[in-house]
Structure formats: C-alpha cells, structure tokens
Amino acid sequence: MPNYRNIKEKLIELLLSTASITALLILIGIFVFLFITGIRTFTEISPTEFFLGNEWNPTAYGEPKWGILSLVIGTIIVTFGSLVIAIPLGIASAVYLSEIAKPKIRETIKPVIEMIAGIPSVVLGLIGILFLSPLIAKIFGLSSGLNAFTSSIIVGVMVLPTIISISEDVLTSLPNEFRESSLALGATKWQMIRMTLLPAALSGIVAAIMLGLGRAVGETMGVLMVAGNSRAMPISFFDPIRPMTANIAIEIKEVVKGSLHYEALFAIGLVLFVMTFVVNFISDIIIEKQVRKYKW
Amino acid sequence: MQEEIKIEFKDTNFWYNSKQILVGINLKIYSNKITALIGPSGCGKSTLLRCINRMNDLIPISKIDGKLLYNNENIYEKDTDVIELRKEIGMVFQKPNPFPMSIFDNVAYGLRIQNMKDKNKIKQIVKESLEKADLWDEVKDRLNLSAFRLSGGQQQRLCIARSLAINPEVVLLDEPCSALDPLATAKIESLLRKLKNERTIIIVTHNMHQAKRISDYTCYLLNGKVIEYSGTAEMFDNPKNKLTKDYINGEFG
Ligand SMILES: Nc1ncnc2c1ncn2[C@@H]1O[C@H](COP(=O)(O)OP(=O)(O)OP(=O)(O)O)[C@@H](O)[C@H]1O
Ligand SMILES: [Mg+2]
C-alpha cells in the first residue's frame, strides 16, 4: 500500500520550497535588473563624480551635473532626524507597554499603534503638507515648512510602530525570572528595567531600530510630499531637501527610457537597494542572535 | 534555651481573587535555624514563602490580611519600605535564574543597585559571596564568562551567591534543588548548613530526605493550613497528626 501521508508531506514540502525559491529568484531578478541598468551609468559618468559630486542637474543645458551627494545627504538627514525622534519615543513606549501599563491599557494601545503602521504614507504626507508644515513654518518663522525637519517628523511617525512593536515583543519575551530575581534583590522597578531588562533586550531593540532605519531610508511618498525637494546641498535641518527616493520618483516620469539620465536613476536605486539590504541583513543577524541567547 | 523569633505569621490569610490559598497561618520562624516547608503540590508553600519578602505584591489579584512580623514589626503596614525589606530578605528560586550577564556582574548586581561605587569593595564582596556559596574555586579564573555557561548546579550556587552579596538576614529558598542532580544537591545542602550560623533560612522542598537532612524545624502545610509544626527530628520520628504521618510515610515509601 502506498504511503499517502508520506506523499502528502513530500508535496507540501515541494510547494513550500517552490514558493521560497520563487521569492528568492524575484529578489535576485530585481537586483540583476537594477544592477545591469544602473551600472551602465558608469560608462559615461565617473564614480567619483557620481558619488562625490554635490550637484545633481541632469537636464542642465550644455553641462549636466551628476553628483548624488546632496541627495544622499538628504536621505541621511531624514533618516537620522526620524530616528532621533522615533528611538527615544519608541523605546519609552515599548517599556511602558511591556512593563508598566495595565493589561487593559496595553490591549487598547497595541492595536492603535499597529494601525499607525497601516496608514498609507500618502495620507501622512497630506497631513504633513496641510497641518504640520504650516505649523512648523509658524513656530520657527520660516517661509516654508516643507523641509528636512518636517520630513523627519513624518518619517519618524512612520517608523515608530516598527520600533515600538518589535521592542515590545522583545521585552515581553524576556523570562519573568529576570524581573522577579531583580526585584527580589531589592531593585526598584526602574532599576529592574534599566539594569536588567534593557541590557537583556538590547540586541533586539537594536534590530528594531535597524528595521526602522531601513524603512526610513526607503520611504518615498511621505517625504516626497513634505521635503521641499530642493536639489541644493542642505546646510541646516530647516532646509528643504531631496532624498534619493524622492528624486527617483520625481524624475523617472520625465526621462527617456534608455537615456543616461534613466540609467543614472537606476544607479541611485541600486545604491538605495544596497543600503537597505545591508541594514536588513545586519538586523536579521542581530535578531537571530537575540533569539538564540535565551534558549536555556 | 529560648530561641529568638525572626519571623512570625499571626492569623495570616491569603487570597488569589476569591480563592483562599493560606488559611489562618500562625507560625514562628527562629533565627539562625533552617526551617523546611513541606506539603503536597499546590498547598501554598511558595505562596507562603513569597509573603515574607512581599513578592506576592506583584500579582494584582492577590490579597492578604492578618499580620506578618519580621524583627517584631508588621511588614504589611502602609509605610513598610518593601525595597528595603527585600534587601534584607533574599530569595533563591526553583529554577536557577542568573541574569544574562557575566558571573561577576551577577553577583555585583545587588551592590550596584545599592549604588556602591567602590570597585575594590565590590570585587572583595563578590569574592566573599562566591566563597560562601562554594563556587569561588570553580569560577575564579573566568569571572567574565556569561553566567549561562555554568552548569545548573553552579548557576544555582551563583544565585545563592548573588543573594548573599547584599548580606541578607533571611534567605528564602523555593525548591532550590529540584532541577539538580544528587551531587549538586549535596553541595547546596552543605552550603546551607554553613550559612545558618549567620542567617535564618527557610526552604521549600518536596524531598522528605532533604528536609530531614538539613532542617531544624519542619512545617507541614496542607490546603493552605499548617497541619503540624515542630522540630524536624520530632516531626519525622513521631508525627502527632495522622495527616502528617500519612504524608511523610507516603513520600518516604
Ligand atoms: N499567580 C497566581 N494566580 C492565581 N492563583 C495562583 C497563582 N499562583 C499560585 N496560585 C494558586 O495558589 C495555590 C498555591 O500555589 P503555590 O504555588 O503556593 O503552591 P506550592 O505549594 O508551592 O505548590 P508546588 O509544590 O507545586 O510548587 C495553587 O492552587 C495555585 O494554583
Ligand atoms: Mg511552589
């Protein structure tokens, strides 16, 4: 008699492995496409000009400029600014939810935070344009509130749920023994959090931050709407900026397919891809380590 | 000789929600003695132990009434300093539960909580505590190793060292050997015998032999009530209550 259970298991196995191999192939395909299209840029533009030139103006008459430095800096500023906002807020909320809030309050707040993660970025962008940027302009006496600061807030709000929910998961998953033995030694609740829980959860929290960072680097719509999109090299937090993502989104619709400009946008995409890939890769390793640390 | 009373339960009742766990407990725990708490699973041994350092406070559904005197003062007064109390009444748990830190940092934890800054003093106390816990010789060359790398028995002795470091007057142990092999258990028992010269020890155990071997007094708890409480030798040789007799014989048999 044939062993049907065995066959069924084999089939399920095959299906699952096909699915994951497909996903892997798609990822590789995207990378290859980006790479082949993007790399052609460097047959005409030197990498030095591309990476270190601080003027980006591919459509300038006569002498187009191909430096992405100001765009990269725009991305870095928004990422940095958003994390400065989201890290302390995120960790504080996670600690509150996991260690201080009563179960009822936690059950109410958690879904709300997860809903924030579900708000389309275009909606946050709208709120940024209509409410936040006039407010910021007023508070700081600026002619326009569309700048790096406003974008940092918007992106900060976007990455906040990621940081909160992963950090909270990591904290809640810590064995209760850590809490009890700390308190039994006469620790206050705050000492227990600071001296036991946060160090124990550190790598997981770092991973949460890295995931948030990956999201901030790749965020497009929200920043496109509130960043001001000036190509000039930003000097302060209140300057308008144009992150790499926004630049691609703005220009891709005007370029001729196959032109140098088109290829250069793909090269920017390639740089972005590498940035987020590295960030995600590192955070995966950290999470993996964190999970293994407490299997005892 | 008149024994000095360290801890005294006076008509103590304890509830989880509406379920009464401890019923009218009257119990005197003597200084510099080892008192064993025995009784079947679920009878309230851990609960009784955790009343003494107020760990049950952490469970919102818990409720206690009656008095619990420590050094002749009721520790369930409104103005009791629970943090201070827990520094004087240390606890060792059933499962060895070191912090995810180095061996050294584990023992130094309680000192750092108390804001001790003097590095040499911390080193000194860590060494002394590990010595008292009979662990120093085994770990002195690798104090920076993660505590998780130690064996179960070593981890449990580390937890004892950790609680000794802040020099508690009382040490509560909740089945400290239940996860350990006989050799590791023997080590901990001999260590407890040494410790009682300076401290009051209360130990929950499921192991009748262990209670008989190490304790001076034994308390038999059943359904949240003290059934019998007397000197250990007396209790095991000549139990007064039939329930105690049945339990002891059953567990020995
Ligand atoms: N956090 C809690 N919430 C509600 N009930 C609890 C809680 N902890 C313990 N109980 C109940 O209280 C009773 C006594 O529990 P306790 O842990 O004190 O027993 P024990 O004598 O230590 O048992 P064991 O020998 O199995 O450790 C049990 O019926 C248990 O179900
Ligand atoms: Mg118990």
User: Any idea what DSSP says for residue A21?
Assistant: H
CA B138 to each of CA B108, B121, B150, B155, B211: distance values in angstroms, whole numbers, following the listed order: 18, 21, 10, 12, 27
- State which residue of chain A sits closest to B56, comparing Cα positions: A180
Q: For an interface test with A, which of B46, B80, B83 has the most A Cβ atoms less than 10 Å from its Cβ? A: B83
Domain that holds residue A151: 69-245+276-293
Whether the CB of B252 sits within 6 Å of ligand 1: no
A169 exposed, middle or buried (CB, 10 Å; 0-12, 13-18, 19+)? middle
* CA atoms B133, B136, B138, B141: torsion sign: positive
Could you tell me if A15 and A145 lie in one domain?
A: no
Whether the CB of B41 sits within 6 Å of ligand 1: yes
* Whole-number pLDDT of residue B80: 93
Three-state SS for chain B is CCCCEEEEEEEEEEEECCEEEEEEEEEEEECCCEEEEECCCCCCHHHHHHHHCCHHHHCCCEEEEEEEEECCEECCCCCCCHHHHHHHEEEECCCCCCCCCEHHHHHHHHHHHCCCCCHHHHHHHHHHHHHHCCCHHHHCCCCCCEHHHCCHHHHHHHHHHHHHCCCCCEEEEECCCCCCCHHHHHHHHHHHHHHCCCCEEEEECCCHHHHHHHCCEEEEEECCEEEEEEEHHHHHHCCCCHHHHHHHHHHHC
Query: Considering the domain boundaries, does residue A201 fall inside one?
Result: yes
* Whole-number pLDDT of residue B221: 95
Structure ipTM: 0.92
pLDDT over 60 at B1, yes or no: no
pLDDT over 90 at B22, yes or no: yes
Query: Considering the domain boundaries, does residue A101 fall inside one?
Result: yes
Write down all domains in chain B, each with its CATH number in brackets.
5-248 (3.40.50.300)
Could you tell me if A107 and A224 lie in one domain?
A: yes
Helix (H) or strand (E) holding A57: strand A56-57
Could you tell me if A289 and A189 lie in one domain?
A: yes
One DSSP character per residue, A61-112 reads: SSS-EE--HHHHHHHHHHHHHHHHHHHHHHHHHHHIIIIIS-HHHHHHHHHH
- A282 alpha carbon – ligand 2 mean position (Å): 42
Nearest to A186 by CA among B6, B113, B125, B73: B113
* Whole-number pLDDT of residue A3: 75
Test site for ligand 1: of B15, B16, B19, B48, most ligand atoms within 8 A of the Cβ: B16
Query: Considering the domain boundaries, does residue A252 fall inside one?
Result: no
Query: Considering the domain boundaries, does residue A254 fall inside one?
Result: no
Query: Considering the domain boundaries, does residue A141 fall inside one?
Result: yes
Could you tell me if A195 and A152 lie in one domain?
A: yes
Q: Look at A185 and B84 and tell me if their CB atoms are within 8 Å.
A: no
d(CA B39, CA B177): 16
Nearest to B55 among A180, A293, A296 (CB): A180
* Whole-number pLDDT of residue A197: 95
* Whole-number pLDDT of residue A62: 84
Could you tell me if A31 and A77 lie in one domain?
A: no
Distance of CA B155 to the CA centre of its chain: 16
CATH of the domain at A230: 1.10.3720.10
* Whole-number pLDDT of residue A85: 96
pLDDT per residue as tens, chain A (296 positions)? 667 888 888 999 999 999 999 999 999 999 999 999 999 999 999 999 999 998 999 988 888 999 999 999 999 999 999 999 999 999 999 999 999 999 899 999 999 998 988 999 999 999 999 999 999 999 999 999 999 999 999 999 999 999 999 999 999 999 999 999 999 999 999 999 999 999 999 888 988 999 899 999 999 998 999 999 899 999 999 999 999 999 999 999 989 998 999 999 999 999 999 998 888 888 888 877 766 665 43
Could you tell me if A76 and A129 lie in one domain?
A: yes
Contacts of B156 in chain A (CB under 8 A): none
Nearest to B99 among A183, A188, A196 (CB): A196
Q: For an interface test with B, which of A185, A202, A294 has the most B Cβ atoms less than 10 Å from its Cβ? A: A185
Could you tell me if A122 and A207 lie in one domain?
A: yes
**Residue B2 pLDDT class (50, 70, 90 cuts):** low
Query: Considering the domain boundaries, does residue A219 fall inside one?
Result: yes
Could you tell me if A143 and A96 lie in one domain?
A: yes
* Whole-number pLDDT of residue A5: 80
Could you tell me if A92 and A221 lie in one domain?
A: yes
Q: Does A187 touch chain B (CB under 8 A)?
A: yes
Q: What are phi and psi of B100, to 5 degrees?
A: -75, 65
Test site for ligand 1: of B46, B55, B203, most ligand atoms within 8 A of the Cβ: B46
Find the ligand nearest to B14 CA. Answer: 1
The minimum CA-CA distance between A206 and chain B, rounded to whole Å, is: 17
pLDDT over 90 at B3, yes or no: no
* Whole-number pLDDT of residue B184: 87
The minimum CA-CA distance between A295 and chain B, rounded to whole Å, is: 10
Contacts of A294 in chain B (CB under 8 A): 100
Could you tell me if A93 and A202 lie in one domain?
A: yes
* Whole-number pLDDT of residue A2: 66
- A174 alpha carbon – ligand 2 mean position (Å): 21
Structure tokens at A131: 């409410």
Nearest to B93 among A180, A199, A294 (CB): A180
* Whole-number pLDDT of residue A292: 66
Query: Considering the domain boundaries, does residue A134 fall inside one?
Result: yes
The minimum CA-CA distance between B83 and chain A, rounded to whole Å, is: 5
Helix (H) or strand (E) holding A22: helix A4-39
Q: How many domains does chain A contain in total?
A: 2
Could you tell me if A187 and A148 lie in one domain?
A: yes
* Tens-place pLDDT, residues B207-234: 999 999 999 999 999 999 999 999 999 9
Nearest to A181 among B58, B84, B93 (CB): B93
Residues 6+ apart with CB under 8 A from A268: A38, A68, A71, A244, A247, A248
Q: Can you tell me whether residue A56 is helix, strand or coil?
A: strand
* Tens-place pLDDT, residues B70-126: 999 999 999 999 999 999 999 999 999 999 999 999 999 999 999 999 999 999 999
Query: Considering the domain boundaries, does residue A216 fall inside one?
Result: yes
Torsion of CA A165, A166, A169, A171, to 10 degrees: -110
Could you tell me if A91 and A228 lie in one domain?
A: yes
